[in-house]
Amino acid sequence: MQIFICPFCGPRDEREFHFEREAGKIRPDTTKLVSDIGWSDYLNEQRNTKGAVREVWSHLPCHELFVMERNSLTMDVIYSTSRRGPVT
Amino acid sequence: MRDDRMKWAPAGRELATFEGDGFRFQCVTMQSQALVSASDILTRMPDALGWPDVICGQSYVLSLRRDRVLVVNGPFVQDGWDSELSQAVSDVTDALTVFEISGPNTLALMRRGAEISFEAPSRSASRLLFGFGVFAYRYESHDTVRVHVNHAHSDAFAQALRQAATRMQATLT
Amino acid sequence: MTSYRIDHGGLIDRTRPLVFTFDGRSYTGFDGDTLASALLANGVRIMGRSFKYHRPRGPWSAWVDDPNAIMNVKLNGREFPNCAATTTYLEDGMAARSVNAFPSAQFDVKGGLDLMHRWLTAGFYYKTFMWPNWHLFEPVIRKMAGLGEISRDVFEDYVSDQVHDCCDTLVIGGGGTGLAAAREAVETGENVILVDDQKTVGGGLFRTGLIEGQAAADWVEAQVAAIESGGGRVMRATTAFGIHDHKLVGLAEHGKFGCPPRLWRLRPGRIILASGALDRPITFANNDRPGVMSLDGACEFLARYGVLVGRNIATLSNNSGAESSARTLEQAGANVVTLDPTAGHACAIGGKRLRGVELNGAFHYADTILCSGGQTPLVHLWRHAGGKLDWNDDLQAFVPGKAPEGMIAVGSANGFFDLQHALDDARAVGADTARPNKKSSYKLTPLWPKPGSKGRQWIDFQHDVTIKDVELAARENYVSVEHLKRYTTLGMASDQGKTSNMSGLAAMAAVLDRPIPEVGTTTFRPPFVPQPLALYAGQRKATLFSPLKRLKLEPEHRAADAALVEYGGWLRPGWFGSGDPTEHIFNEVQLVRETAGIFDASPLGKIEILGPDAEAFVNFAFYNTIATLKPGHVRYGFLLNERGIVMDDGVVARLGDNRFVISCSSGHVDHVRDHLEVWRQDCNDPERIFVHDTTQHWSTVTVTGPRARDILEKIDTRIELAADAFPHMTVREGTFDGAPIRVARVSFTGELSFEVSIRNTYATALWNALLKSGASIGAGPVGSEAMMILRAEKGYIIVGKDTDGLTMPHDLGFTVPRLKKKAAFIGDRSLHMQVGNETDRRALVGLEVDTGSAMLSTGAHIVADGSKPRTLGYVTSSYDSPTLKRPIALGLLEQGAERIGEKITVWHLGKTVTATVCPPCFYDPEGVHLDA
């Protein structure tokens, strides 16, 4: 089992985590006009890089949604960063 | 549409106390358990503890998330959203069954269900154990652990623990 | 008799004889023997037959690299297939059978297949057995192929313990270098585990004379004592079978025969790989004959088991390590002649019995030919961990190159074949000090398979792959080493190529006239040796495989003779009463329509959304507009995913300005909760929204039917129940027995319904009170099967049954929010993509069969008429309706809304019937009963 890092809970077994999507996508403002291509890219575009990838994961025991950078070849975890800033 | 009443042992049977080689497993009754959520809850409740802190006393607070704790046997608070305190409260007393594992083989038994050690700290008591989402923490002594399990899965969790204990104690020779 | 037990030596306990049988004949061995050593001691050399040609096979070596001696073994009434005789320790009463041979390994009726070898080359089954239909040949081929036979008995207690552990240093291999490294590491204060796959650690040391002045057994004992007294752990009979991501090492700890091994998931700080090296075969004509064995293997049989594999031995070797081995065998009593195979062409003479070896035309009498083609370091685990390999020309072997983080190789696994050098180097690694620089004294003349040379020459002994097969693969352009492997099947037998990989790729290199490192190796994957599936499964089987959630009221249901059935991850009453369910379900449906039914609805989700942004968040999560929902009111709605597909339906109740309860369907609660928790932190402010899943704190009892109010009125809830005070789709709070309750007027049946929720502690009291109250007017408990029919009569959908992975809300008739809702919501833009706008989308419809016809089958296709029928949709729910006294069905149909009244064709398992499309509601379409 791989070890992933939750920004709150620390290093945990990969089975506690759920992959959400590639990082860097911004949901278009659907109250304004959004083109078909724009929406489709948001849903379907994946860079799927060989090497360092930045991904959004959630840690199911605490439901923290965060960004993790990993190496898709070596499986190394490079870092995890919270999307919500430091814990108060 | 198959009648499986014989396939599943009646609910409640697995919850009985059992003992084995270096451990004891039993069910513990809680007065109350309440989820309290607020964006700064951990600042407000600095006594909220995680792993592997040894928690003592009748009433205590578990740190679950950056913005959530479980208050065990605390004073009564009304369910709902408190706009003055900016906090959300929900009574979950009957949602969580609490088990206690004690004895020198407690950690060895838990290691059948998770990669866990007393040397690896975590701010949260929330984790997966035998595939179930639980709250786990040390209680009163260094080799006693309390585990809060979702009520509907308490039979299955106890069954998993019993089987793991049987495997642990079985010799290969 | 060729092989025999000498009267001294070995690590066996000669005071403990054990009796066993092989192919029906009885033999004696000793405690400490393997099946292979015990059989050799009794002069038995033929232990199996090869996979394709059924040629007789004897053991090649003494441990994991043997591809030949495969047996079914039975002990204490349990039989296990395909045990390797060289690694199966002997136990009293064992009954072993050769595989792939009938009636025995010695005399196999299919031995004649070998005469057809010219037509059974590599890949012959890709080119034959095709006309007229390959399916005709498959059953016959299946019967003829394979090794061993699986017992049909189920061993309930064959369950592996699985445990996590960690340490500072893991040493893999308990030979000389492993022991030396482990001892040093322990003495620096590290937490050390040493694993070795044999019962007695020491690796190949017992073949050596003195080690640092001591006899092997004494030296080994001294290291083990030092390791253990220093707090280190020595794990015997434990195989490190794989290194997985993030340096998780899989260990299989073996015990007695028939005991499931224990799985250790070990996370070490660093790994010292001391896994050793294997003696390579030499490829020459008839090199697969019984009696052609590994030189190191023969020395192992002597050192560990006191067995001399032959009396007149010819050795073929190309390296400097062979000389001392030959001398050891001589001292034990064999006549040994040493031959140099690099000088020319060799050929084994003999069939089941070896008569000798011919080298460059000269015949040498021998009953045993021992080969040593050089040492191949065992680098499997190195490669699992991502380590690279370098080709060493002096050693003619792949040795560990660039190391994976936290891993280091020592000893012969690292290409160090001088014992003293290896020990010094291993100690430096163990202590983490500078490694000494020394030159190796090991010498070797390259000797590899020669394509085009005379005779049948074996590369893979178990799968019967010869040099000619490699040449054939090259001719057909399967030149990549990965294609070579799959086309010829070399390296794919149960030994996973331990003896065949090097010869195979060297043969390909020779055919292509390329250097060996350019051809390269195939990918090494765990497990290093075969492991039972039970090792990976652990206790996740039967009721622990996918454990169901249990109801608080289950004891009450059992007492009421409920049939308990799995629904959406819960164990729930399907119906009440024993025997044939049809009548029970029928009666329960009628009971609800005429009087009232009492139903355990506890699994319904109760996910609370709290906070100042709760309203905005619920409005964002739902397709429907929730912002206008007033406190005390309940609204039905859909949760969509970002692709606009209906994920779940349910009702939302507003309890206050900043408090909502989402009552999603029972089987989807976990999924919905996780979905909401993610979105709360995405495009929303999590400091102002909190998700509390309180589902399991509550039990819910639903009273549904025209007399529901009467039942509830008899128990004291402090709630005004009259229709004007408590309208449909509203929620009220009250108490029962001092405990707070929530009552929602929500209906899944189309009848007047009250869903009463109370905390679990009081559930039994509530249930019993309602049942008692209900009994007085003839009402009683009803199960899920009746509920399924009742809701279908109303056309109420079940998401995932009446909807699929393409269904959007406007397909279900809910069109308004898609056109009118201004606020953003999950999935909004997807509803207007091209696919959402298509005019032929499948919509929810009702289906009526012709009068007197049977009900439709769920999943039946609705097809277009014509010579090539096309699927237009399918039947999603179908029941015999007790209420309407005829069959009813729901389905998804292209342009369904426009086809009301049309006659359509329904196809199922080759038969067609007609049906009529109708609106998806068969009972009380005005909803008069709901508003009662």
Backbone phi and psi for residue C761, each to the nearest 5 degrees, phi listed first: -55, -30
Q: What is the DSSP letter of B83?
A: T
Residue B112 DSSP one-character state: T
- The number of CA neighbours under 13 Å toward the Cβ of A47 is 12
Instruction: Tell me if chain B has a CB within 8 Å of the CB of A15.
Output: yes
The predicted structure's pLDDT at residue A83 = 86
Q: Give residue-wise pLDDT tens across range C249-284.
A: 999 999 999 999 999 999 999 999 999 999 999 999
Collect all residues of chain C within an 8 Å Cβ-Cβ radius of residue A60.
674
Helices (H), C68-214: 124-127, 134-144, 176-187
- Interface check for B1 against chain A (CB to CB < 8 A): the answer is no
For residue range C209-248, what is the model confidence (pLDDT) as tens digits? 899 999 999 999 999 999 999 999 999 999 999 999 999 9
- pLDDT over threshold 80, residue C642: yes
Neighbours, chain C (3 or more CB pairs < 8 A): A, B
C552/C556 Cα distance (integer angstroms): 9
pLDDT of B92-108, one tens digit each?
A: 999 999 999 999 999 99
pLDDT band, very low/low/confident/very high, at C670 (cuts 50, 70, 90): very high
Q: Two tokens at C30?
A: 């000793």
Query: Is pLDDT above 90 for C618?
Result: yes
Dist. CA C885–CA C513, nearest whole Å: 82
What is the C-alpha separation between A28 and C754, in angstroms, rounded?
42
Cis upstream peptide for C706 (omega within 30°): no
CA distance B58 to chain A (A): 25
Q: Out of C323-332, C437-446, C470-479, C570-579, pick the least confident.
A: C437-446
* Residue ranges per structural domain of chain B: 17-169
**B24 interface with A at CB cutoff 8 Å:** no
The whole-angstrom distance between residue C336's C-alpha and the CA centroid of its chain comes to: 49
Three-state secondary structure readout of C189-253: CCCEEEECCCCCCCHHHHHCCEECCEEHHHHHHHHHHHHHHCCCEEECCEEEEEEEHHHEEEEEE
- Report residue C16 as tokens: 């403990």
User: What was the pLDDT predicted at C343?
Assistant: 83
CA distances from B129 to A10, B110, B164, C84, C468 (A): 16, 8, 12, 36, 55
Whole-number Å distance between alpha carbons of B24 and B26 = 7
The distance between the two most distant Cα atoms of chain A, rounded to a whole number of Å, is 44
Taking the C-alpha atoms of residue C486 and residue C473, their distance in angstroms, rounded to an integer, is 10
Residue C135 scores a pLDDT above 90? no
Residue C213 CB contacts under 8 Å (≥ 6 apart), including other chains: none
Answer yes or no: do C674 and A2 touch at CB < 8 A.
no
> Looking at CA atoms only, how far is residue B6 from chain A in angstroms?
32
Asked if the C-beta of B78 comes within 8 angstroms of chain C's C-beta atoms, the answer is no
Q: How far apart are CA C922 and CA C705, in angstroms?
A: 17
Q: What integer pLDDT is reported at residue C931 of this predicted model?
A: 85
Distance CA C613, CA C621 (A): 12
Residue of B nearest to C160 (CA): B167
Residue C495 has pLDDT above 80, yes or no: yes
Asked if pLDDT for residue B83 goes beyond 80, the answer is yes
Residue C1 reports pLDDT greater than 70: no
CA-wise closest residue to C22 among C7, C38, C33, C11: C38
φ, ψ for residue C897, nearest 5 deg: -60, -30
What Cα–Cα distance (Å) separates residue A51 from each residue in A4, B95, C389? 17, 44, 21
Q: Which domains does chain C have, with CATH numbers?
A: 4-107+281-372 (3.10.20.440), 162-277+376-431 (3.50.50.60), 448-519 (1.10.10.1100), 549-603+697-791 (3.30.1360.120), 607-693 (3.30.70.1400), 798-918 (2.40.30.110)
Note the pLDDT of residue C742. 97
- Of the candidates C686, C828, C833, the beta carbon closest to that of A36 is on C833
Tell me what percent of the residues of chain C surpass a pLDDT of 90.
Answer: 89
Best mutation target, C244, C674, C681, to test chain A (most A CBs within 10 A): C681
Least confident of A59-68, C46-55, C308-317, C894-903: C46-55
Q: Provide the angle, in degrees to the nearest 10, between the axes of the packed helices C669-680 and C614-621.
A: 120
- Least CA distance to B108: which residue of chain C? C163
Coil, strand or helix: which one is C805? coil
Report CB contact under 8 Å: A10, B128: no
| pLDDT at position C299 | 98
Assess whether pLDDT exceeds 90 at residue C840. yes
Over residues C415-458, the pLDDT tens digits come to: 999 999 999 999 999 999 999 988 888 999 999 999 998 899 99
Helix axes C216-229, C176-187, angle to 10 degrees: 30
- Give residue-wise pLDDT tens across range B151-169: 999 999 999 999 999 999 9
E strand intervals along chain B? 18-20, 23-28, 33-37, 54-55, 60-65, 68-72, 80-82, 87-91, 96-102, 126-129, 132-139, 144-150
Name the residue type at position C577. G
**pLDDT value, residue C848:** 97
Residues in chain B closer than 8 A to A65 (CB atoms): none
| Pairing status of strand C354-359 against strand C362-365 | antiparallel
What value does the mean pLDDT of chain A take? 95
Dihedral angle sign, alpha carbons of residues C702, C708, C709, C711: negative
Q: Output the DSSP codes for C744-789.
A: E---SSSS-EEEEEEEGGGHHHHHHHHHHHHHTTT-EE--HHHHHH
Residues C716-757 pLDDT 10s: 999 999 999 999 999 999 999 999 999 999 999 999 999 999
Residue-level pLDDT at C113: 79
| Domain B17-169: top CATH class | alpha beta
Q: Which domains does chain A have, with CATH numbers?
A: 3-82 (3.30.2270.10)
Other Cβ atoms less than 10 A from the Cβ of C441: the count is 10
For the record, the structure tokens of C452 come out as 């085009």
pLDDT for residue C531: 96
Nearest to C555 among B11, B88, B94 (CB): B11
In 3-state terms, what secondary structure has residue C46? coil
- Chains contacting B (3 or more CB pairs within 8 Å): A, C
Average pLDDT over residues A5-27: 96
User: Which of the other chains make 3 or more beta carbon contacts under 8 angstroms with chain A?
Assistant: B, C
**Residue C837: phi, psi to the nearest 5?**
-95, -5
When pLDDT is averaged across residues C59-79 and rounded to a whole number, the result is: 95
For the residues B121-148, what does the mean pLDDT come to? 97
Q: CA A52 to CA C834: how far, in whole Å?
A: 35
Confidence band (pLDDT; 50, 70, 90) for C867?
confident
User: Which pLDDT value is given to residue C643?
Assistant: 98
Q: How confident is the model at residue C344 (pLDDT cuts 50, 70, 90)?
A: confident
Highest-scoring range by mean pLDDT, B53-62, C340-349, C439-448: B53-62
* pLDDT mean over B113-140: 97
Band the pLDDT of A88: cuts 50, 70, 90: low
Among residues A65, A2, B63, which one has the least CA distance to residue C245? A2
Mean pLDDT of C338-358: 93
Of C436-445, C467-476, C758-767, the least confident? C436-445
Sequence-separated (6 or more) residues with CB below 8 Å from residue C885? none
Q: Give the DSSP letter of residue C500.
A: T
Distance of CA A54 to the CA centre of its chain: 6
Contact residues on chain B for C581, CB-CB shorter than 8 A: 1, 3
**Three-state SS string across C372-420, please?**
ECCEEECCHHHHHCCCCEEEECCCCEEEECCCCCCEEECHHHHCCCCHH
Q: What is the largest CA-CA distance in chain C?
A: 113
Q: Which residue does chain C place closest to A34, by CA atoms?
A: C829
Q: How much is the pLDDT for C380?
A: 97
Which of B43, B49, B62, B66 to mutate: most A Cβ within 10 Å?
A: B66
Helix/strand/coil for B36? strand
Helices (H), chain B: 41-44, 106-110, 154-169
Residues of C in Cβ contact (< 8 Å) with A62: none
C330, two tokens: 């001589």
B120 touches chain A (CB under 8 A): yes
Q: Does A9 touch chain B (CB under 8 A)?
A: yes
Instruction: Measure CB to CB from residue C681 to each of A36, A43, A83 and give the nearest one.
Output: A83
pLDDT averaged over chain C?
95
Q: Cis peptide before C103, with omega less than 30 degrees from 0?
A: yes
Enumerate the β-bridge partners of residue C96: C22, C73
> What phi and psi values does residue C611 have, to the nearest 5 degrees?
130, 170
Question: Contact C914/C850 with Cβ under 8 angstroms?
Answer: yes
Is the pLDDT at C141 greater than 90? The verdict is no
List the 48-87 stretch of A: residues with Cβ below 8 A of B. Answer: 60-64, 84, 87
- Nearest Cα to Cα of residue C600 among C737, C761, C768, C715: C768
Distances (CA, A) of C72 to C56, C95, C197: 17, 8, 21
The β-bridge partners of C193 are C170, C233
